[in-house]
Structure 1
């Protein structure tokens, strides 16, 4: 899910560049600690910003006042289920019989705003845990959840509402027998300069993140689809607002990113720049692989991974080189979201304004065009993908003056 005001997501295309290609690479390490007990926030310009224990938070709220995104700390072991037997009216009769068959809810690793609480979203005004009210401009909860936080105590949980004008959440939670029933009002406003505001069911609001302006990459543990099954991995997520391009295979001195596709998804770098050798049980780095990260200001950094230690110290070794600084950019293309993603037979492209005459093409990773569609005045476009082989594809949108690209996973 995305923000329910006019959010635009874009790839910034540089008009003019001040070359920084002659600047030396700097080698860094980011250590998550033994058994990956920490998260590391990293700045491409300044290095390590903050190391935060991974087990201090259970859920987190995207800080934008006009967002309803709520994530869980699934990488640390928090488990969430949507209660299937009743909506909010089932609070008093909440029953966990048969919970072994309930579906677990996971964050979308590609989007910090599309958290586990949002995975049942149907599109505006439905944001999964609740529905947006055109009258009050609040998001009003309509679901009950079963959550197992890091303290191991199962609780029933309801997000009662998001008071958008005050950027506050009202949540209710209790033990399964109804004891310790609490209603908390969580004020997100003091954390507007962070990407997320974290919360623990044992300690309350947690100061987990540095200022959003101060970091670019998050080294962390999270769940993602691995061969169609959610699995905990250790990898790198990109701050929302940054875009990332992957180049492979390339020579060590490659810096010409101008023809690469930049993506806004948080997990473009992700976890698969490394693989475990099942003979030596050592981690190996994909050869000739480089990433280019463009921040919101337009500067571009080349990132190349060199080593990964594994669970002993959880240390990633990598080089960073600033390759360009932007002086201007094209207008942003107003894409709201692509959903569902992963998709099977169909996915939808939702826009914030008409792109009549623009072309949307779906390409495989070899660059082969597999579907193409001319967009009309509609804000919602449907793409039929039945018959396409499962895998990762790139949706490219071009309206002559502007471009954008998104990953689409076909399952």
Structure 2
């Protein structure tokens, strides 16, 4: 294991940090371009080995449920403008209780974590095991039972109340319901995750339906080009998230790195290690400037390491971004 790690590191320095020798193969590097379209209409699922895996509408879902039997993760589409807030309830509250949104604007908004897929918006109010925010784990049935009411604001501005009733371990399904704030237009849903090969199942509250053919098989992609809320600045950004099991390192001024310096770096599971800060917007020129000294090393699910250097970003006019990929 240690011997293989050193081989990877030597390869990184031979190929990634110094100019190529005459005998080096020039086809190790590929210039790739992905386009999210004008105004970032699409999400792009990308394989470092095979290129674009799927191109899907970015705003056709509101919430998404993890299919992992050990997970309680429920995402919101915060990059499309969906906002989640916990509704303050009293002990013994009931789904049919009247909703009072006085003070709604002052309630804390819950967004997906920038570090982990597991720490999704519906879990941000978790207090610790067995409480996972929206629900509590039952050690007898292994179900997660809903304990919280939420107000969710859709991208179109509509407000809904939503209650995740449970995640059934034996049934391999989620049960949830939602309605208008006054209780009208109630919808009850059961979503099975049995046999699903993506990480999540996606659902549109606006259209009252499961969104099919969205996320591809979890084993086929490494990176997701998308929009999301950067929690450090509470702002919607365009950037890159890593798939579960994909790790990355961000490095600056790499030509000055020594082998000892690189050995001190560790691959991170942080899903926005690449993120959005490889570019900055210049208010003087009204153009995006790429950080020329920043590179990323990404280890895919098969432990193959790639070097990524971003070289271009055209902004919302086209949604085009260009980068160089080198297999190490």
TM-score by length of 1: 0.71
8 Å Cα contact 2:89-2:149 kept in structure 1: no
Shift of residue 88, structure 1, vs aligned partner: 6.8
Q: Does 1:189 align with 2:194?
A: yes
Instruction: Give 3-state SS (helix, strand or coil) of 2:53's partner.
Output: strand
1:179-328 alignment to 2 at 5 Å?
179-191=184-196, 193-201=197-205, 202-207=207-212, 208-226=214-232, 229-251=233-255, 258-323=263-328
Shift of residue 172, structure 1, vs aligned partner: 1.0
Query: C-alpha deviations, 1:309-365, integer Å up to 9, x for none?
Result: 011011110011110xxxxxxxxxxxxxxxxxxxxxxxxxxxxxxxxxxxxxxxxxx
| Count of paired positions | 309
Instruction: Give 3-state SS (helix, strand or coil) of 1:199's partner.
Output: strand
For 1:103, which of 97, 100, 108 is the aligned residue? 108
Shift of residue 82, structure 1, vs aligned partner: 0.4
Q: Which has the higher helix share?
A: 2
For 1:35, which of 25, 39, 56 is the aligned residue? 39
Q: Unaligned stretches of 5+ in structure 1? A: 1-11, 324-411
1:82-231 alignment to 2 at 5 Å?
82-86=86-90, 89-91=93-95, 92-191=97-196, 193-201=197-205, 202-207=207-212, 208-226=214-232, 229-231=233-235
Shift of residue 264, structure 1, vs aligned partner: 0.4
Instruction: Give 3-state SS (helix, strand or coil) of 1:189's partner.
Output: coil
Which residue in 1 is equivalent to 2:20?
none
Q: Would the alpha carbon gap of residues 134 and 219 (structure 1) be closer, same or farther in structure 2, given more than 3 Å must change?
A: same
Distance 1:304 1:245 in 2: 12
8 Å Cα contact 1:41-1:215 kept in structure 2: yes
Distance 2:319 2:125 in 1: 33
Distance 1:41 1:88 in 2: 43
8 Å Cα contact 2:135-2:166 kept in structure 1: yes
Shift of residue 80, structure 1, vs aligned partner: 0.9
TM-score by length of 2: 0.88
Q: Would the alpha carbon gap of residues 87 and 235 (structure 1) be closer, same or farther in structure 2, given more than 3 Å must change?
A: farther
8 Å Cα contact 1:62-1:112 kept in structure 2: no
8 Å Cα contact 1:307-1:317 kept in structure 2: yes
For 2:71, which of 58, 67, 70 is the aligned residue? 67
Distance 1:179 1:280 in 2: 50
8 Å Cα contact 1:257-1:292 kept in structure 2: no
RMSD of aligned C-alpha atoms?
A: 2.3
Distance 1:129 1:164 in 2: 16
Q: Would the alpha carbon gap of residues 88 and 42 (structure 1) be closer, same or farther in structure 2, given more than 3 Å must change?
A: farther
Ranges of 4+ aligned residues in structure 1 off by more than 6 Å: 252-256
Q: Which deviates more from structure 2 when the two are superposed, residues 18-27 or residues 231-240?
A: 18-27
Q: Which has the higher strand share?
A: 1
8 Å Cα contact 1:147-1:155 kept in structure 2: yes
Shift of residue 235, structure 1, vs aligned partner: 0.4
Q: Would the alpha carbon gap of residues 88 and 321 (structure 1) be closer, same or farther in structure 2, given more than 3 Å must change?
A: farther
Q: Unaligned stretches of 5+ in structure 2? A: 16-23
